[in-house]
Amino acid sequence: MITEMLNNYTSTGQKFWCWNKQMEAYRQGEPSTVISTHVSPEGYCNLNCSYCSVSKRTKHGRISFALIKDYITKLMGYGLKAVILTGGGEPLFYPEIEELIMWLKYKHLKIGLITNGTVSKHLMDLAWSKLSWVRVSLSIFEDWEQRISLPLNALAKDCIVGCSFVYMQQDPLVFNAISQVADNLGAEYIRLLPNCLLPQSELKRVHEELEGITALLRLRDQRYFHQRKQHRAPDVSVCHQAYFRPYLSEEPYWENGLSGSVYPCDSVVLNDAAKKFKKKFQLCYASDVGKFLSGEIKQGFDPRKNCKGCVFTDTVEMLGRWKADGQIVEVDEKNILHKEFV
């Protein structure tokens, strides 16, 4: 049951095998490899979570709507199926968020949204109805139980809602409130994670603690699951995942100072000590994403040396084995939801 939840609601690497065309293109050295992309259009957030991995990034970064459309249009030429709107900041503060969602739907793309759930009124009901799934990142702040909400009647009938919560060794009673908020949101799952900014040794200990907590929680609420992300450097010289699910950030690009940097992922491993994404991980500017996918622009980092805290290690190595010797992972596609969101 938990394995099924992980495969459906997180990035375990299983979904890549649902896309033969993209996988074969990558093995043959062709550029039509993109399945999904994360887009962080907005740098501003109304919360200040202590565990936020991007708290020192600019609060004023914002990608122009025209640039996002150009980026998405280019990716569609390389196979793009789905877009995840995320942060950076809170995506619902993006001034053109409604226009963006409606445009993506017009382009027949699947759309996911990651939000803190406090400003749901910023989005009209019609736009809410276009989403394939919504994940609410739960945080503890004043009146959080009342302030976090979704317009459930506006969502499509097949839209899946879930919650994610970062465990900071809070009072166990907080999980009673989390379950209640999840009920209010119509959530089908509640993902638990530790603070990803912890040192590796402490992170391992908290993961062990979360294993026990999750087992107890599931006795009364089967929606809970613990995502045990590994934090280690992939044993490959290239981040293979970047060619399947690039990440468009509101962070300024080093060469022109404009918002719209493309990164290989949204992992905390990209951060420096100031919780700001490092320049060396920038793949290209948004308008040049085609040059990256076609190989004209190369990755400027070595995952073995620079990605010691990578949380996508298993997937990156899996794709590397496929690229090198055609090693296939068998998956049961019938039991996988949201195949487009790798």
Instruction: Tell me if the domain spanning 2-335 has CATH number 3.20.20.
Output: yes
pTM: 0.96
Instruction: In whole angstroms, give the CA distance from residue 53 to residue 271.
Output: 7
Angle between helix 20-27 and helix 313-325 axes, rounded to 10 deg: 60
CA-closest candidate to residue 251, choices 240, 266, 239: 266
- Give the C-alpha distances (Å, rounded to integers) separating 37 from 85, 200, 248, 271, 318: 9, 28, 7, 20, 19
**The pLDDT value given to residue 52:** 75
**The pLDDT value given to residue 274:** 55
User: Which residue ranges of the chain lie beneath pLDDT 50?
Assistant: none
